[in-house]
Amino acid sequence: MQTRLALALVALLCLCSTVSLAVDRNNFKKCDQSSFCARNRNLEPGNSHFTVVSSSVAFKDGQLTADILNTRDNVVLTLQVSGIANSIFRVKVNEKAPRKPRYEVKDVLLELRETPLEQDAAAAQGANVITIRQGKHAAVLTLAPFRLDVVTDDRVIVTLNGRGLMNFEHLRDRTENEQAGAWEETFKTWTDSKPNGPESIGLDISFPGVKHVFGIPEHASPTALKPTKGDGISSDPYRLFNLDVFEYELDNPMALYGSIPFMVAHAATHSTGVFWMNAAETWIDVSNAQGPVGQDATGTLGRLANLVKSGLKSDSSEPRVDTHWISEAGIIDLFILTGPRVPSIFRQYSQLTGVPALPPMFSIAYHQCRWNYNDEDDVANVDAGFDANDIPYDVLWLDIEHTDGKKYLTWDAKKFPDSKRMQDRLASKGHKMVTIVDPHIKREANYWVHSEAEEQGLYVKKADGTSDYEGWCWPGSSSWIDFLRPSNRNWWSDLFSEDRYVGSTKNLFIWNDMNEPSVFNGPEITITKDAIHHGGWENRHVHNQYGFYQQMATADGLSRRTGYTERPFVLTRAFFAGSQRYGAIWTGDNTATWDHLIYSTKMLLTMNLAGLPFAGADVGGFFGNPDAELLTRWYQVGAFQPFFRGHAHIDTKRREPWLFGEAVMTNIRTAIRARYSFLPYWYTLFHNAAVKGMPIMRPLWMEYPSDESTFAMDDQFLVGRDILVKPVTSAGATTVNVYFPGDQPWYNVETGTRHSAPATQTIPAPLERLPVFQRGGSIVPRKMRVRRSTALMTADPFTLYVALDQSKSASGTLYLDDGHSFSYTEGAYLFRQFTFANQVLTSTAGVTGGVASRPDLHKTSEWVERVVVYGYRSQPTSVTFQEGKEAPRSLNFVFDAALSQLTIKKPGVNIAHDWTITIA
Amino acid sequence: MHRRSSSSSAVTLSLAAAVMMLAVMMIVLCADAASTQAKVIRGAAPASRPLYRAAAKSGSFTCVDGSKTIPFAAINDDYCDCPDGSDEPGTSACPRGSFYCPNKRFVPTVLPSSRVNDGVCDCCDGTDELGRKESDCDNTCEEAGESLRLENEQKLLSHQQGMRVRFEHIKRGLTARKERTAKLRELKATLATEKAEDERLKAIKDEADALEKPAKEAHINAWNAVKEARRLEREAKKAEEDAAAAAAAAPEAASGEPTATEPAVDEKPEVKAEPEEPMPPFPEDVQALIDAANRAQTEWAALHDRATATEREVNALDAKLNTDLGPEQEFFVLQDECFSFKTNEYQYEVCPFVSAKQKQNDRATSLGSWTGWSGSGNKYSQMKFENGEKCWNGPNRSATVNLKCGDKNALISVAEPSKCEYVLEFTSPAACDPNFKLEQVEDDIEGHDEL
């Protein structure tokens, strides 16, 4: 929501008269303007001066420890290599005796189950190579120079320091001759005091055998990361530093609002992941290479070959991706996820940082937002507009203008005199509300939140560590809650109780914006790096975790107000690894252009690959005015992206779906209704994410991992495994080319038309509908009845869409619970398994992750009203339903020979039951 | 910003809404409606009931769109057979279906099928929720009917008052138009006369000018010639004197010492310093011509000014007559008037057919100039003002004024739904619809019931 308004405010108040007010590229650092980045990026490969001290190597309790000597300045580091369950290696490097402790990321990792590593008996004392194993995976440590190769399935999948770019700037006293920028650095008008001097770290990580790497959001870049270095490529590295970037550019490695330092490498043969657990400003170079990594190819690899059971694959023409990770501070704490299959990567990653929270049902439906809905009348009119046009929506949002002077947790009494009544009225039809609560607190004497925060010392401090940090944001002069302190988070969580947040109800949920944090008059529009957080840590050390902590505390507050019985919903703009545990994110302030629509898919695929699937982009584009066609196409795509919210800047024209005439309204309504009809499938996918960490929106290669033509494909995507979506992203398009992967047919979900695979076909794409296809071999449960909100769908029947594969079979699952409480954690849910084989459709209780299902705890009246079979080719003579020992009964059906589609009418059975339908 | 907050009918409206809301929470089952349920094709509107009656007799039903014929038993069986939804008037099975609430003692309403059996009591008689086992809708039609009656009384009163004033407006408008038309005709006649006179006087003036000019010029030229001769004479004389003086001063000058008697530098020995002789008066015959020309000029100028003023008046009146004041001139009274409305921050001013403004302290911001009537359907339901002052980094401001019936001409609300696009509400008797009809509360007599 960063705007000119804010900038004007700053300008008016003459706070920083020398600061350029145009928010553009020049407001943000490039690598060469960030001295630590430049120092590391300028290192020459092949000169590593880190050597493992042979005598220090110890193997105890299944962990390897050793000292690493920086031979250039004789500083000793400690190395720790340990095993985490399910084939994860953790490599940790810190100073052995730092002058003061270095920051280690807290609160991101779950409690880890360590797996003792085994030392390879073959390694003789004094050898330059030591091998430790976890099952079939080996970590091969080369002592001089330090290098670590992870080997799995006779293949080196990851090499650390193979190019010798490792760096570890130890904490030191200031001396006479320091490099420029090491102890103090000026960017534009801001000087960063750097009280600890240089303390950066760096490491090169190579992925032999792959051409494509993914992840490390958030960047407006293609899903398959483009190289930043190499022949003819001159780009900044990908930057991870949570920033509020006004009108961000596309196809650019600049930092955006959130950071997840997790990267996935994928090849037809295997997938690998690395998680660089560091919350400081981080830059990552990516380049393509060939052959084995390092100067010692024959030496090390030769020995590696002897150490693994059979011949190691090390072809000199084999592709390779080299990456170089540079962080300003902290330690090297790296997790190597050995895969080797795609799903195992996500199981491994969620084992470290957690699975996504299971969201309440309403939050995966449609959200209507605008900066701003002006008052209670406006809210009532928008709500009435949805009803009048019979368009479902679940949540209506209020942006910053609803508050009294941008004081969060207050209401503008003139515009919202009775906010509870407003919420109750919406709730009577199942609707929820979301209000915005940002982390900056207006410094106003009588504002209760500020008074408490000031008195109790809850604010982030200036570099002196004692006085409150002050800066400018929406309300003018503000301070920022120090969310790193657990007791501050506890205080914050309490703010959301109904008696503290006056005018709120249990139907009100929260949006945390501007939590990079955005500081209008700060360097790079954020807080100064030398500001002090809990524990004396500088913002430099913890910056990328700030928004993560705010969302954590907010989500806890929403759960707390119901005694931890109801699920929270919190949307955040800034995020870090682990944010998936607390709610949803969106891609910030995008723009109403076709290119931004295209990039929404690329960016959301990346979010999903980084373990945070509950992500969306503002439908319609935040800045600017989309024309009716762009808006329609955006709704069609947004309806198949995980977080689905229309939002617009205050300076834009109104764009509620009915404001563009009947035809446009109908098309947008069709898209939103499609979302609602697929909600049972979406909810099952969110459940699947919550138990297995699996992405929801997937690049095609996730399901077709050996189809290399899909590796860089980010203009179409899968929802789960079974739904293929091809966004239409150009003006005037009447057809699109769709690639159908795999070897089973795909069926158009609107028309039932069959498409063979693998093939690229030109598909009609009229404005009336989005090209969406169901996989042959799948069964997708949907709810076809139109309602006003998900709360009003809870008794509605299911239609099962059975798409047959070439062997005339199919299968699918359905997860069901009450959609809002935590009772599913006690087993109050149903998990149904549907299979179609040999002309028989069977419904049985299925098995899923988490606590075992207790159907007795989840009673439902939902039933099966229809079964549609795609790819059924001959006229049946009868369709018979049977449940248990009851007498079989025959069902009515309609067969469409032209479409090979069989529709079975009204099995009429409760969804919780076991039954069969036999077609003869 | 709070629309209608000052109008009494709004209070009743929201009361009615509150009554409906309360119904959701009340847990009383309507036994009456439930017992008749079996006989009725639930949700069917009276007009379509014969179709279902016929189907009951024949045992089969053809969808209203003709797409299919289905057994009678498939009607309201909670499964959508007809693409047009006609087989399921009483369930939520068809996305395109609709449900008819009889709402006895209130007003029948037609709902989309999405409202049926969803747990929300949308019909005051609760019939939309009767398909649910645990339906808990109270019948609130009595109260709703009562509210509607009260509301209708208010509305009717307001409408009647509005219509009375509207009638006055029309009378004034039509009279004014007649008067204006007559006045215009008169003015145009005057203008024609004045234009003719203008031409005539201009001709006289030109003629007088033509006579005056050469005579006047001859006199002036003669005098100029005399003046020139005298000047030349003066110069010659001066030259002589200068030469003489120079000759006399020469020995002193040779001594190289300037004398104290030397004239000061600023004393200009200019010949022209002598006062100019006035021109002798024009001879009588010439002066007579001049006077005649001046008289003709004055006479013509006076007439010309009058004609210009008349023309301006004609144009202004023409513009007023060409302004669309409604088919019955009912908006006449708004012409030449301005109306304002105060919010906490601003005062808004609308001058119909001219402009709209937003004022704060002494500063007025244009929200646009009149571009015409813009209502969809009835174009006189909306006024449009466009091309106001440009918003910072945004569009030019514009204002839309929605008119509705009321007994006074007044601005009653202002909103800014999109930045710099203002929407104002204006009540006017002129906006009252002579064909206004109230929703009638269904009385208790059952004229058309059930299968």
Could you report the per-residue pLDDT of B331-356, keeping only the tens digit for each?
999 999 999 999 888 999 999 999 99
Q: Establish if B261 touches chain A: CB-CB under 8 angstroms.
A: no
> What pLDDT score does A313 carry?
52
- Give me the residues of A, 345-384, that contact B with CB < 8 A: 374-375, 377-378
Residue B51 located in a structural domain: yes
Instruction: Report the alpha-carbon angle A601-A605-A606, nearest 5.
Output: 120
Q: Establish if A787 touches chain B: CB-CB under 8 angstroms.
A: yes
Average confidence (pLDDT) over A604-615: 98
| Percentage with pLDDT > 70 across chain A | 95
Residues in chain A: 920
Question: Would you say A716 and A738 are in contact if contact means Cβ atoms under 8 Å apart?
Answer: yes
> Model confidence over A549-578: pLDDT tens digits?
999 999 999 999 999 999 999 999 999 999
Please answer yes or no on whether A653 and B120 come within 8 Å at the CB atom. Answer: no
- How does residue A300 score in pLDDT terms, banded at 50, 70 and 90? low
pLDDT at B253 > cutoff 90: no
Average confidence (pLDDT) over A26-47: 94
* Residue of A204, A296, A394, A513 marked active site: A513
Chain A and chain B share a number of CB contacts under 8 A equal to 75
Give the list of residues 6+ apart from residue B153 with CB closer than 8 angstroms, or none: none
Average confidence (pLDDT) over A318-346: 97
Count of helix runs (H) and strand runs (E) in chain B: 5, 12
Give the dihedral of Cα atoms A636, A641, A644, A648; nearest 10 deg.
-70
- A513 is annotated as an active-site residue: yes
> What pLDDT score does A443 carry?
98
Q: Rounded to a whole number, what is the distance in Å from the CA of A786 to chain B's nearest CA?
A: 5
HEC string for A260-308: CCEEEEECCCCEEEEEECCCCCEEEEEEEEECCCCCCHHHHHHHHHHHC
Domain boundary residue, one of B120, B139, B158: B139
> What pLDDT score does B4 carry?
32
Higher confidence at residue B145 or residue B394? Answer: B145
Q: Establish if B50 touches chain A: CB-CB under 8 angstroms.
A: no
> Model confidence over A67-82: pLDDT tens digits?
999 999 999 999 999 9
> What pLDDT score does B202 carry?
92
- A589 is annotated as an active-site residue: yes
Question: A642: cis peptide before it, omega within 30°?
Answer: no
Q: Rounded to a whole number, what is the distance in Å from the CA of B85 to chain A's nearest CA?
A: 12
Q: Is A226 exposed, middle or buried (0-12, 13-18, 19+ CB in 10 A)?
A: middle
Residue B279 located in a structural domain: no
- How does residue B442 score in pLDDT terms, banded at 50, 70 and 90? low
Nearest to B182 by CA among B321, B310, B351, B372: B321
Please answer yes or no on whether B79 and A905 come within 8 Å at the CB atom. Answer: yes
Higher confidence at residue A17 or residue B252? Answer: B252
Please answer yes or no on whether A651 and B394 come within 8 Å at the CB atom. Answer: yes
Q: Is B182 exposed, middle or buried (0-12, 13-18, 19+ CB in 10 A)?
A: exposed
> What pLDDT score does A660 carry?
96
pLDDT at A16 > cutoff 60: no
Question: Would you say B387 and B372 are in contact if contact means Cβ atoms under 8 Å apart?
Answer: no
Largest CA distance in chain A: 94
Kindly report the CATH number that applies to the domain delimited by A45-250+257-310+319-352. Answer: 2.60.40.1760
- How does residue A122 score in pLDDT terms, banded at 50, 70 and 90? low
CA distance A286 to A651: 39
Average confidence (pLDDT) over B82-105: 95
> What pLDDT score does B443 carry?
61
Can you say whether the dihedral through the CA atoms of B140, B143, B147, B149 is positive or negative?
positive
The residue of chain A with its CA nearest to that of B93 is A785
The per-residue pLDDT of chain A, averaged, comes to: 94
Nearest to B154 by CA among B12, B3, B6: B12
| Alpha-carbon B101 to chain mean position | 41
> What pLDDT score does B38 carry?
39
- How does residue B13 score in pLDDT terms, banded at 50, 70 and 90? very low
Which of A496-510, B189-203, B432-446 comes out lowest in average pLDDT? B432-446
Name A843's bridge partners.
A834, A915
- DSSP helix/strand/coil, B43: coil
> What pLDDT score does A176 carry?
78
Query: For A24, what's the count of Cα atoms within 13 Å in the CB-facing half-sphere?
Result: 5
> Model confidence over A443-466: pLDDT tens digits?
999 999 999 999 999 999 999 999
Q: Examine domains A45-250+257-310+319-352 and A794-919 and report if their fold is the same.
A: yes
A916 membership: H or E segment, kind and range = strand A915-919
Name A264's bridge partners.
A214, A273
Question: In sequence order, which ranges of A577-695 are alpha helices (DSSP H)?
Answer: 594-609, 628-638, 662-677, 679-692
Residue type for position A447: Y
- How does residue A314 score in pLDDT terms, banded at 50, 70 and 90? low
Nearest to A168 by CA among A93, A223, A110: A93
Average confidence (pLDDT) over A150-166: 93
> What pLDDT score does B12 carry?
37
- DSSP helix/strand/coil, A859: coil
> Model confidence over A347-378: pLDDT tens digits?
999 999 999 999 999 999 999 999 999 999 99
Tokens matching residue B146: 């009562």
pLDDT at B375 > cutoff 90: yes
Q: Establish if B21 touches chain A: CB-CB under 8 angstroms.
A: yes
Please answer yes or no on whether A787 and B118 come within 8 Å at the CB atom. Answer: yes
Domain boundary residue, one of B104, B139, B174: B139
Question: Would you say A879 and A893 are in contact if contact means Cβ atoms under 8 Å apart?
Answer: yes
Q: Rounded to a whole number, what is the distance in Å from the CA of B193 to chain A's nearest CA?
A: 55
- How does residue A295 score in pLDDT terms, banded at 50, 70 and 90? low
Q: Establish if A653 touches chain B: CB-CB under 8 angstroms.
A: yes
pLDDT at A427 > cutoff 90: yes
Please answer yes or no on whether B92 and A378 come within 8 Å at the CB atom. Answer: no
Query: For A717, what's the count of Cα atoms within 13 Å in the CB-facing half-sphere?
Result: 29
Q: Establish if A906 touches chain B: CB-CB under 8 angstroms.
A: yes
- How does residue B134 score in pLDDT terms, banded at 50, 70 and 90? confident
CA distance A666 to A647: 19
Superfamily of domain A364-441+485-698: Glycosidases (3.20.20.80)
pLDDT at A422 > cutoff 70: yes
Can you say whether the dihedral through the CA atoms of A515, A517, A518, A520 is positive or negative?
positive
HEC string for A148-206: EEEEECCEEEEEECCCCCCEECCCCCCCCCCCCCCCCEEECCEEECCCCCCCCEEEEEE
Q: Establish if B417 touches chain A: CB-CB under 8 angstroms.
A: yes
> What pLDDT score does A204 carry?
98
Domain count, chain B: 2
Q: Which one of 3.40.50.740, 2.30.130.60, 2.60.40.1180, 1.10.3720.10 gives the CATH number of domain A794-919?
A: 2.60.40.1180
Looking only at the bridges linking them, the beta strands covering A319-327 and A754-755 are unpaired
- How does residue A303 score in pLDDT terms, banded at 50, 70 and 90? low
Please answer yes or no on whether B114 and A788 come within 8 Å at the CB atom. Answer: yes
Which of A23-27, A197-201, A335-339, B372-376 comes out lowest in average pLDDT? A23-27
The strands making up A810-816's β-sheet, listed across from edge to edge, are A889-890, A879-882, A915-919, A840-845, A830-837, A810-816, A778-782, A798-803, A863-870, A901-910, A893-896
Higher confidence at residue B248 or residue A88? Answer: A88
> Model confidence over A214-225: pLDDT tens digits?
999 999 999 999
- How does residue B277 score in pLDDT terms, banded at 50, 70 and 90? confident
Contacts of B95 in chain A (CB under 8 A): 673, 784-786
Q: Establish if A785 touches chain B: CB-CB under 8 angstroms.
A: yes
pLDDT at A14 > cutoff 80: no
Average confidence (pLDDT) over B53-63: 94
Residue B261 located in a structural domain: no
Q: Rounded to a whole number, what is the distance in Å from the CA of A93 to chain B's nearest CA?
A: 52
Q: Establish if B112 touches chain A: CB-CB under 8 angstroms.
A: yes
> Model confidence over A809-840: pLDDT tens digits?
999 999 999 999 999 999 999 999 999 999 99
DSSP for residue A77: E
Residue B188 located in a structural domain: no
CA distance A900 to A182: 71
Looking only at the bridges linking them, the beta strands covering A432-436 and A508-512 are parallel
| Percentage with pLDDT > 90 across chain B | 61
> What pLDDT score does B24 carry?
35
Domain boundary residue, one of B139, B158, B187: B139
Question: In sequence order, which ranges of A289-442 are alpha helices (DSSP H)?
Answer: 297-307, 342-353, 376-388, 419-427
Higher confidence at residue A122 or residue B395? Answer: B395
Residue B290 located in a structural domain: no
CA distance B187 to A358: 81
Q: Establish if B317 touches chain A: CB-CB under 8 angstroms.
A: no
Higher confidence at residue A835 or residue B275? Answer: A835
Structural domain span for residue B41: 27-139
Residue type for position B240: E
Question: A218: cis peptide before it, omega within 30°?
Answer: yes
Question: Would you say A485 and A444 are in contact if contact means Cβ atoms under 8 Å apart?
Answer: no
The residue of chain B with its CA nearest to that of A799 is B79
Tokens matching residue A257: 């609002």
Q: Establish if B83 touches chain A: CB-CB under 8 angstroms.
A: no
Question: Residue for token digits 């439908």?
Answer: A619
Please answer yes or no on whether B79 and A865 come within 8 Å at the CB atom. Answer: yes
Residue B176 located in a structural domain: no
Please answer yes or no on whether A390 and B114 come within 8 Å at the CB atom. Answer: yes
Query: For A469, what's the count of Cα atoms within 13 Å in the CB-facing half-sphere?
Result: 31
Contacts of A793 in chain B (CB under 8 A): 118
Domain boundaries of chain A, sorted by first residue: 45-250+257-310+319-352, 364-441+485-698, 794-919
CA distance B153 to A612: 59
Name A914's bridge partners.
none
Question: A340: cis peptide before it, omega within 30°?
Answer: yes
> What pLDDT score does B6 carry?
35
> What pLDDT score does B275 carry?
66
CA distance A440 to A458: 12
Give the list of residues 6+ apart from residue B432 with CB closer than 8 angstroms, or none: B159, B162, B163, B166, B405, B406
Selecting from B112, B120, B415 the residue whose C-beta is nearest the C-beta of A429 gives: B120
> What pLDDT score does A778 carry?
98
- How does residue B276 score in pLDDT terms, banded at 50, 70 and 90? confident
CB burial of A457-467 (b: ≥16 within 10 Å; e: otherwise) equals ebbbbebeeee
Please answer yes or no on whether A652 and B418 come within 8 Å at the CB atom. Answer: yes
